[in-house]
């Protein structure tokens, strides 16, 4: 299988370049990540993040034939050759497929991603009906892989000001939680020309999310809540 990978080592290279590898796959190598492990056996200087190899840790997000995805759940059989691999777009490249994720996490942290409830904690669990709990489905499953935010043009232009789809999805995850008491403060925080309103519903985020989550829908719901406040 032919794979072309963007390589860059700040210790040795002036700028990034593409390098092609011809890898011999074993029958058990079904996913792109398996192929990348083979590349690394051929060339130990090729660097990338990976851990769980089953699509739950969010480590190995990369740009695969022009589209963001996780190498570990992308079947090699589904890929057009030569496969072109680049780092996630829009984030500073540190080395090979390693990008600097600080801006992404900063935005995630900016939405106060934790339950806020200032009542004294009860003895037992806080009760929540199965229906209220179901409101969190499609939200809490995010693995913070950044596939969505790094495919969003608004995030590329304003990564410091626009929260981005991943962060907004999590903002809504807490707004939607019946146990959280900070909805008003959360909405105040997002009522801003950049933090939320840079989203122009381009839907790239939905298209790439490897967990089939829908940030655009969550963003829409936040906007609805804001409108209701005005009325």
| Nearest of 97, 93, 36, 37 to residue 63 by alpha carbon | 97
| Contacted by 130, from another protein, ligand FES, ligand SF4, none: CB < 5 to 8 Å by type | another protein
Pattern 150-169, binding to ligand SF4, x per CB under 6 A? --x-x----------xx--x
* Torsion of Cα atoms, 195 then 196 then 199 then 203, to 10°: 120
**What's the Cα-to-Cα distance from 168 to each of 2, 194, 215, 221, rounded to whole Å?**
38, 12, 7, 10
Nearer to ligand FES, 59 or 107 (CB): 59
Enumerate residues 172-211 that contact ligand SF4 by CB under 6 A. 199-205, 209, 211
147 binds ligand SF4 (CB under 6 A): yes
Question: Residue 79 in contact with residue 65, Cβ under 8 Å?
Answer: yes
Spatial neighbors of 177 by CB under 8 A, at least 6 apart, are: 115, 135, 136
Q: Check binding of 181 to another protein (CB under 8 A).
A: no
- 83 within 8 A of 21, measured Cβ to Cβ: no
**Should residue 69 be labelled a site residue for ligand SF4 when binding is judged by CB under 6 A?**
no
Calpha distance 60→101 (Å, rounded): 12
Q: Which of 22, 25, 114, 185 binds another protein (CB under 8 A)?
A: 114
Q: Select from 148, 175, 176, 196 the one that contacts ligand SF4 (CB under 6 A).
A: 148
**23 φ, ψ to 5°?**
-105, 140
User: Which residues of this chain interact with ligand FES, rule CB under 6 A?
Assistant: 50-53, 55-60, 70, 72
**Three-state DSSP class for residue 85:** strand
The only residue of 97, 99, 101, 146 in contact with ligand SF4, by rule CB under 6 A = 146
At 141 the three-state DSSP class reads coil
Question: Of 4, 19, 53, 223, which one interacts with another protein (CB under 8 A)?
Answer: 53
Burial level of 152, CB count in 10 A (0-12/13-18/19+)? buried
Q: Is residue 73 part of the contact set for another protein (CB under 8 A)?
A: yes
At residue 36, the 3 state secondary structure works out as helix
Q: Which residues bind ligand SF4 (CB under 6 A)?
A: 142-148, 152, 154, 165-166, 169, 199-205, 209, 211, 213, 215-216, 219
Q: Which residues bind another protein (CB under 8 A)?
A: 9-12, 28, 30, 40-41, 43-45, 47-59, 73, 75, 94-96, 98, 101, 105, 109, 112-115, 117, 121, 123-130, 132-133, 136, 140-141, 143-144, 174, 177, 179-180
């Amino acid at each position: 299988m032919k794979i072309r990978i963007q390589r860059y080592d700040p210790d040795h290279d002036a700028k990034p370049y593409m390098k092609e590898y011809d890898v011999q796959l074993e029958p058990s190598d079904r996913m792109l990540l398996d192929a990348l492990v083979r590349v690394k056996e051929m060339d130990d200087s090729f660097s990338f993040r990976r851990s769980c190899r089953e699509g739950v840790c969010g480590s190995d997000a990369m740009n695969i034939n022009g589209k963001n995805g996780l190498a570990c759940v992308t079947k090699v059989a589904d890929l057009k050759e030569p496969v072109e691999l680049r780092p996630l777009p829009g984030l500073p490249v540190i080395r090979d497929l390693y990008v600097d994720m600080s801006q992404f996490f900063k935005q995630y942290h900016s939405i106060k991603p934790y339950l806020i409830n200032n009542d004294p904690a009860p003895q037992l669990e806080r009760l929540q009906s199965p229906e209220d709990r179901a409101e969190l489905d499609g939200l809490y499953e995010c693995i913070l892989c950044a596939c969505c935010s790094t495919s969003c043009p608004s995030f590329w232009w304003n990564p410091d000001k626009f929260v981005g789809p991943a962060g907004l999805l999590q903002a809504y995850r807490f707004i939607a939680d019946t146990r959280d008491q900070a909805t008003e403060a959360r909405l105040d925080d997002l009522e801003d020309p950049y933090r939320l309103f840079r989203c122009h519903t381009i839907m790239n985020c939905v298209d790439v999310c490897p967990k089939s989550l829908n940030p655009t829908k969550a963003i829409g719901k936040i906007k609805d809540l804001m409108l209701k406040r005005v009325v």
